[in-house]
Amino acid sequence: MIAPASPPKQELLRNALSFLQGLGLVVKMGSNVHHTYGYLAGKDDERLEDIHTMFRDQDVKAIICACGGYGTGRLATQLDYELIARNPKIFWGYSDITFLHTAIHQKTGLVTFHGPMLSSDIGLQDVDEKTKETFQQLFESKRLEFSQQTSPIQTIVDGKAEGPVIGGNLTLLVSTLGTPYEVDTRGRILFIEEIDEEPYKVDRMLNQLMMAGKFKEAEGIIVGDFKNCEPDKRKDSLSLDDLLDEYIKKAGKPALKGFYIGHSSPSLALPVGSMGRIDTYRKSFTVESGIKEEVESL
């Protein structure tokens, strides 16, 4: 359990610890999980060392992030990607963790997991049972099936698409542009999610991804939850659906929206880098397991 971004709320973290122990897991705490350095959970070298220590430790089978917030982009240039590649293991989180997912997967090929976090989600009193159940994918090699039974899926652009899954939080994906860790959507299925951004800000970010060619280069697009991304009622505004339809329809790639992926309840996990398939005619999105049969799961 590490905090590579902002400091987690400790009471919620304790609740989440009980959840992990209830799954039969033995938990090792990162040395900076309880630290605070402004809006960061420790200085950069301290948070970086927690990541390296957990990948280096042969007893550690999974690294699960406590929360997001801010700070992972500051670590990308200092990460030891060779160490990570030599010690492949489960790496789990979302939101600000998107920068690490993108950098780690593109530098090492490791499949990582975009999934609910400990203090942010699991530690809440009203956490949805499906959010808890999504951790079960770490214990077996099983294809994930997203359908209208799991999410209120709607079609944006009809078609079928196949490719490795890449993506995450929209703000963080945009922040990779122009860096050595720029998100690569070529031949891939891109998924996006966001929280607490007004439509005009979402517009700016979607436009930047479009101008960078990220929608056009993708095989297909999956739109997760855009929580609280509503316009200020005191202002005239386009709606979120207006923006998604405009930018994604313009790309012309098979696209579905309405998935409980991101800052939603329930919040469903998916493996970044695993092969995904979109079929808009069936309103389905399937993703191969991030746990390989020949690799020991948790």
Clarify whether residues 254 and 191 are in a common domain.
yes
Who's near 294: CB < 8 A, 6+ residues apart?
none
Task: Report the candidate in 263, 113, 105 with the shortest Cα–Cα distance to residue 185.
Answer: 105
Q: Which helix (H) or strand (E) holds 145?
A: strand 144-146
Number of folded domains that form the chain: 2
Just list the catalytic residues: 95, 193, 263
Strand-pair category, 144-146 with 154-157: unpaired
pTM of the predicted model, to two decimals? 0.96
Rounded to whole angstroms, how far apart are CA atoms 109 and 273?
7
Residue range of the domain that includes 197: 144-287
Q: Is residue 116 part of a domain?
A: yes
283, two tokens: 């309103």
In a domain, 218, yes or no: yes
Helix (H, G, I), strand (E, B) or coil at 163: strand
Judgement on whether residues 160 and 281 belong to the same structural domain of the protein? yes
- pLDDT for the residue 292: 76
* Same domain for 269 and 163: yes
* pLDDT at residue 30 in the model: 96
Amino acid identity for residue 257 in this structure: K
- Torsions phi, psi of 144, nearest 5? -90, 135
CATH code for the domain in which residue 41 is found = 3.40.50.10740
Q: Which residues, given as ranges, of the chain have pLDDT below 50?
A: 294-295
